[in-house]
Chain A
Amino acid sequence: MESLWVPLAAAIAIAVTALATGWAQSKIGASIAASLAEKPELRTTAVLMIAIPETMVVLGFVIAVLILLRVG
């Protein structure tokens, strides 16, 4: 039974964070696209803003790895 739950838990860890990142980026992306239309000089800020939610999926990935390796 454990052989099922461990990979499932890892999958959930990365799936939920990936969905959350995608959702956040969709909202930020739409807003930033509108801002860029008026102020193209915000392009650097745009890249940063879009990149910020990626931390969620990175941390999800780390947790998934830790689960798979059963650290602790």
Chain B
Amino acid sequence: MIIKMARIRVLGPRAMLGATVRALQDRGVVHLIDGAPLEGLRRCDLDPIGRRRRRNVMRALGDVEAALDGLHQLGASVADHGGPPPPEARAARLAGRLAAEVGRLRSREQALRDERDQLAAYEPLFADLDELVRAGATRQVSIFLLRLRSAAALDALRAALERALGDAVELRAHALASGEAVLLLLVPATRAQDIERILSEARVERAPLPPVLANTPLADALPRMRPRLAEVVRELHRLRDDAAALARVHGDDLSRARRGFHDALLALDAEDHAAASARAFVLEGWLPVRDRDELVRACATAVGPEIAVEEIAQDEWRGDDAPVVLANPPLFAPFEVLSSLLPLPRYGTVDPTPFVAMFFPMLFGVVVGDVGYGVAIAVLAVVLRLATPRARDLARIAGAIAIYTILFGVLYGELFGDLGTRWFGMSPLWFDRREAVLGFLMLAIALGLVHLVLGLGIAAASRWRRDRREAIGRGLTAIMMLLVAVALLALFQRVPAGLLTPAVIALLVALPIVVVLEGATALLDFMTILGHVLSYARVMALGTASVMLAIVANRMHGAFGSAAIGIAFALVFHLVNFAITLFSPTLHVMRLHYVEFFGTFFEPGGGPYRPLRHWSPEAAGQPRS
């Protein structure tokens, strides 16, 4: 349901604007707006001191975010033990110092990581290098350390070198995971110039050395590469320990400072909504009616008796302007996840969540209707609930779906298709979907009729206060739908045939009245709703397909020579059917709600409720109330 809102006006001495905004922020219930223009008041722009403070707060917040982000990147976890934020000036100094320090750590870490990656590429050659150093070969021959972009080019290079130098050249190569190759080339010092020429012609580049070894001759640098890699790794560990120590000492301060700076910015933004004269200010906003009295008391206590909070009479504001807050009982609340996929309903209209909660699981159950699949969905719901606490709402929806699936499974006498019948002698308590195809179709269409007539009834009730003509039109359309159903039932002799003529006459009388009330489009609307009723036939189509797939899965048991293979195939097929069962009916039942059902009464266009409150990381990206 949509919570009833009140529009309020807060008035007080200009000097108390900041304190009042902080009091409103502490309560966290007022959605501030730019109020209607009042004589003698103008928009309350920040003075130069306020503007400078905003700049300072934004800069300090930038430092805090940079420091926290940097610590996170360095693998340090930052605690937030709660508590009040530190004083702004101290927090800003701390943030500036830490942002610079963390920035230095990050730059150093990046340089070390680059060097580590560079050295790690030569690691496969370290054993060869050690061997050469031990043998003193590095002083007797010319050494080339090369890196090829493609391992395929290695063969071409090897062939070119052998052609030019024969056995005088020694080549040791290793392919890297990246597809590149590193190679060590040893040639007699007298042939070094020939090698230079060949490498130049083949456009083969020398492998770069890390900056600390860049100016060292290769013969001296090679023996130092392995110890340098170990040193870099040790230094990286030390650097991360330093970051962790910083987070341990200052992390809590930084987290509290972040909250404080965000709160300060929110309060400064809120002051922009105020209208003010030289001596007084006015703030306007929305809040749930249930919080109104408490807010009045809180303002008087926190700021003083000079602050007046008055409610603006309902005839002075339009419902379309009010933000929308949805509040449903715990049984229905999880289904807000489904209704929230559409825009918020307009204030003063109907929240569709309770109806989704009632019909979504039921229609799903009518489609799937299988005790075995229902139990599987229930298990899935429990796993979802235990594994991911955040998916609590989803688990509850799955639980409701499971209950209806099991219930209709019992009514249809189905357990993994016809397995219940074959193994346990289950029989349908209502009807057998495999046999009564037409009956199932009638059930689906009847459900559609009930669903849409209910929607039209909701539309009539919700519009009654605003637009009597439209409300009567919606109500008459609902009656016409029922008359069509009666006429069809009479035609197929499911009800006394004598009802046919009165139903048709009533229909012919109602139709022009609806056209007069709602305009010529009412006729088109009526035909559309009739089509929407037929659209519920998908419930039968999907249900029949689901049970038939389950039966096919069961038949696989005997379709193969080996019983084990047959059972394995049957299980796989049931698994596939279960996956389809989860996806397809969900999508189609959602569609029946969004397109067919909501189309009869839902009026989107509500604005989100964003009260001025204290900042928190969880609420930061949460626009919808």
Contact with B along A35-71 (1 / 0, CB 8 A): 0000000001001100110110011011001100101
Complex Cα spacing A26 to B601, Å: 30
| A54 / chain B contacts, CB cutoff of 8 Å | 538, 588, 591
Task: Check if B438 sits within 8 Å of A58, measured CB to CB.
Answer: no
The answer to whether A59 and B588 touch across the interface, beta carbons within 8 angstroms, is no
A59 and B534 contact, CB distance less than 8 A: yes
Contact B591 A62 (CB under 8 A): no
Give the residues in chain A near B540, CB-CB below 8 Å. 62
Please tell me if the beta carbons of A44 and B534 are within 8 angstroms of each other in the complex: no
Partner of A62, one of B531, B534, B587, B588: B534
B156 within 8 A of A: no
Identify which of B342, B531, B588 contacts A44 (C-beta below 8 A). B342
Contact indicator A59/B342 (Cβ below 8 Å): no
Cα A38 to Cα B151 in complex, Å, equals 41
Contacts of B441 in A (CB 8 A): 62, 65
A residues near B508, Cβ cutoff 8 Å: none
Does B541 touch A at the CB level, under 8 Å? yes
Q: Is there an interface contact between A65 and B437, defined as CB atoms closer than 8 Å?
A: yes
B595, CB-defined interface residue at 8 Å: yes
Q: Which residues of B lie under 8 Å from residue A59 when comparing CB positions?
A: 534-535, 537
| Contact across chains for A55 and B437 when beta carbons are under 8 A apart | no
Which of under 10, 10 to 19, 20 to 34, or 35 or more describes the interface residues of B?
10 to 19
**Cα separation A26 to B540 with both chains bound (whole Å):** 25
Asked if B355 lies at the interface with its beta carbon under 8 angstroms from chain A, I say no
B126 within 8 A of A: no
In whole angstroms, what is the CA distance A59 to B595 when docked?
16
Question: Are A58 and B538 touching (Cβ within 8 A)?
Answer: yes
A51 touches B437 (CB 8 A): no
Residues of B within 8 A of A48 (CB): 591, 594-595
B-chain residues with CB within 8 Å of residue A47 when the two chains form the complex? 587, 590-591
Check B595–A51 contact: CB distance below 8 A.
yes
B341 within 8 A of A: yes
Q: Knowing A69-B437, A69-B438, A71-B438 touch, does A58 contact B591 (C-beta < 8 A)?
A: no
Provide the bound-state CA to CA distance between A71 and B540, in Å: 16
Specify which chain B residues have a CB less than 8 angstroms from the CB of A58 in the assembled complex.
535, 537-538, 541
CB distance A61 to B541 under 8 Å? yes
| Cβ–Cβ < 8 Å partners of B595 in chain A | 48, 51-52
Best-buried of B537, B541, B594, B595 by chain A (most CB within 10 Å): B541
With A51-B595, A58-B541, A59-B534 in contact, is A65–B588 under 8 Å at CB?
Answer: no
Q: How many residues of A contact B (CB 8 A)?
A: 15
- B437 near A62 with CB under 8 A, answer no
As a 0/1 sequence over residues 324 to 347 of chain B, the CB contacts with chain A under 8 angstroms (1 = contact) are 000000000000000001100000
For window 437-459 of B, CB contacts with A under 8 Å fall at 437-438, 441
List B418-446 residues whose CB lies under 8 Å from chain A: 437-438, 441
A66 to B587, CA, bound (A): 25
Q: Which residue of B lies closest to A51 (CB)?
A: B591
Point out the residue from A44, A52, A55, A65 that lies within 8 Å of B438, measured CB to CB: A65
Contact digits for A19-32, partner B, Cβ 8 Å, 1 yes 0 no: 00000000000000
B527 to chain A, nearest CB (A): 14
Residue in B closest to A65 when the chains form the complex, CB atoms: B437
Q: Given the complex of chains A and B, what is the CA–CA distance between A57 and B346 in angstroms?
A: 34
CA A53 – CA B534 in complex, angstroms? Answer: 13
Chain A residues with CB under 8 Å of B535's CB are 55, 58-59
Given contacts A44-B342, A65-B441, contact A51 B587 (CB under 8 A): yes
- Are A51 and B588 touching (Cβ within 8 A)? yes
Q: Which residues of A are found within 8 Å of B587, using beta-carbon distances? A: 47, 51
1/0 per residue, CB under 8 A from A, across B556-594: the answer is 000000000000000000000000000000011011001
Note all chain B residues with C-beta closer than 8 A to A44. Answer: 341-342, 594
**Closest-CB distance, A10 to chain B (whole angstroms):** 12
Which residues of chain A have C-beta atoms less than 8 A from B538's C-beta?
54-55, 58
Q: Which residues of A contact B594 (CB under 8 A)?
A: 44, 48
Interchain nearest-CB distance for A46 vs B (Å)? 11
- Of chain A, the residue at the smallest CB distance from B437 is A65
Closest A residue to B596 by CB, please name it.
A55
CB neighbours (8 Å) of B590 from chain A are 47
Name the residue among B531, B534, B540, B591 with the largest chain A CB count within 10 angstroms.
B591
CA distance A59 to B342 in the complex (A): 26
In whole angstroms, how far apart are the Cα atoms of A16 and B567 in the complex? 37
Q: How far is the CA of A54 from the CA of B437 in the complex (A)?
A: 20
Q: Is the CB of B437 within 8 A of A61?
A: no
Query: How far in angstroms is the closest Cβ of chain A from B528?
Result: 11
Instruction: Find chain A residues with CB under 8 A from B534 CB.
Output: 55, 59, 62
CB of B350 to closest CB in A, whole Å: 19
Partner of A61, one of B341, B342, B537, B591: B537
Shortest Cβ distance from A72 into B: residue: B492
Residues of B within 8 A of A66 (CB): 438
Knowing A65-B438, A69-B437, A71-B438 touch, does A55 contact B541 (C-beta < 8 A)? no
Task: Report the minimum CB–CB distance from A72 to chain B (whole Å).
Answer: 9
Given contact pairs A48-B595, A54-B538, a sample of 15 additional A-B residue pairs in the complex whose CB atoms are under 8 Å apart: A44-B341, A44-B594, A47-B590, A48-B591, A51-B587, A51-B588, A51-B595, A54-B588, A55-B531, A55-B538, A58-B538, A61-B537, A62-B534, A65-B437, A69-B437
Contacts from B to A (Cβ < 8 Å): 341-342, 437-438, 441, 531, 534-535, 537-538, 540-541, 587-588, 590-591, 594-595
| Contact sample, A vs B, 8 pairs, CB 8 Å cutoff | A47-B587, A48-B594, A48-B595, A51-B588, A51-B595, A58-B537, A62-B534, A62-B540
Which 7 A-B residue pairs are closest in the complex by CB-CB distance? A51-B591, A58-B538, A44-B341, A62-B537, A61-B541, A55-B535, A58-B537
